[in-house]
């Protein structure tokens, strides 16, 4: 068994997992604003929230692939740019377990109007007895990863997936709560940033059907 260093972000990870479980299937405050390629696009505004972006959620069925196969795609940083149109680069910077790690990601800017964003965070996968999988990411502070000139450090409360086995494939729920910080025009937020989040489910499905999924080890082996 591999020996990993102690994980310093347990409280942040636990808070993100609780957030995911509270919002993944709740109907309280959620409204549907679109439906594309079988994916339901939803958002939820929180009174007093300083972020320009509400909580955003996508829900849909990805046919022909198991939760573990879908997980293999979304957890492999080397292919994240194939399904996440906003990500320019993603890398693991510290590993604390098989699924547990610290990451650094850069999100593309939009022309000269919106500066690139970056995120330092931790991530983990939870394997449940019913065959479902939960994947959470959330921001952390790391003195070894200070702010970078030319990029705005975003605050990621949650990027979380729930993957449930279904007869035809996997029921996928994707929930994101992020504060991009800095200034972004409202039209870009509403017309580009918000729809891109649930759209990631369709992009991931397209990649799976056209290129397949990365090799993976069965998730019944615990980290």
* 55 located within any domain: no
Is the pLDDT reported for residue 223 higher than 50?
no
Determine, yes or no, domain membership for 118. Answer: yes
What is the per-residue pLDDT across 98-122, written as a single tens digit (0 to 9) for each? 999 999 999 999 888 899 999 999 9
d(CA 176, CA 144): 25
Distance CA 182, CA 92 (A): 25
CB 193 within 8 A of CB 43: no
Does 53 fall in a domain? Answer: no
Could you tell me if residue 98 is inside a domain?
A: yes
What pLDDT score was predicted for residue 192?
94
CATH of residue 205: 3.30.530.20
Q: Does residue 219 belong to any structural domain of this protein?
A: no
Number of domains in the chain: 1
Q: What is the pLDDT of residue 221?
A: 43
Residue 14 has a pLDDT of 98
| Nearest to 74, CA basis, from 164, 21, 137, 26 | 137
Q: What is the pLDDT of residues 11-48, one digit of tens each?
A: 999 999 999 999 999 999 999 999 999 999 999 999 99
Residue 14 sits in which domain range? 10-48+60-146+155-211
Task: Supply the pLDDT for residue 1.
Answer: 56
Tell me whether residue 87 is in a domain: yes
- The pLDDT tens digits of the residues spanning 142-185 come to 999 999 999 999 999 999 999 999 999 999 999 999 999 998 99
In-domain check, residue 30? yes
As given in the structure block, the two tokens for residue 66 are 């198991």
Average pLDDT in the chain: 94
Residue ranges of the alpha helices (H) in the chain?
10-23, 67-75, 80-83, 186-188, 194-211
Q: Which residues on adjacent β-strands are paired with residue 44? A: 55
185 phi/psi in degrees, rounded to 5:
-55, 140
Alpha carbons 181 and 220: distance in angstroms, whole number: 39
Residue 217 pLDDT > 60: yes
In a domain, 54, yes or no: no
What would the mean pLDDT of 51-70 be, rounded to a whole number? 96
% of the chain residues with pLDDT over 90: 89
């Amino acid at each position: 068994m591999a020996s990993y260093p102690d994980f310093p972000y347990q409280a942040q990870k636990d808070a993100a997992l609780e957030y995911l479980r509270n919002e993944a299937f709740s109907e309280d405050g959620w409204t549907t604003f679109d439906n594309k390629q079988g994916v339901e696009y939803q958002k939820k505004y929180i009174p007093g929230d300083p972020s320009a972006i509400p909580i955003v959620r996508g829900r849909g069925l990805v046919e022909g692939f198991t939760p573990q196969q879908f997980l293999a795609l979304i957890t492999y940083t080397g292919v994240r740019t194939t399904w996440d149109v906003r990500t320019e680069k993603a890398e693991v910077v510290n590993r604390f377990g098989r699924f547990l790690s610290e990451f650094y990601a850069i999100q593309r800017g939009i022309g000269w109007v919106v500066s690139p964003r970056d995120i330092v965070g931790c991530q983990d996968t939870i394997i449940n007895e019913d065959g479902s999988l939960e994947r959470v990411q959330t921001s952390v502070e790391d003195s070894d990863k200070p702010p970078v000139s030319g990029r705005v450090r975003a605050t990621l409360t949650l990027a979380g997936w729930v993957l449930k086995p279904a007869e035809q494939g996997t029921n996928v729920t994707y929930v994101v709560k992020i504060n991009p910080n800095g200034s972004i025009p409202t039209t870009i937020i509403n017309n580009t940033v918000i729809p891109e989040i649930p759209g990631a489910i369709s992009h991931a499905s397209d990649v799976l059907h056209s290129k397949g999924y990365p090799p993976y080890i069965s998730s019944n082996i615990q980290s």
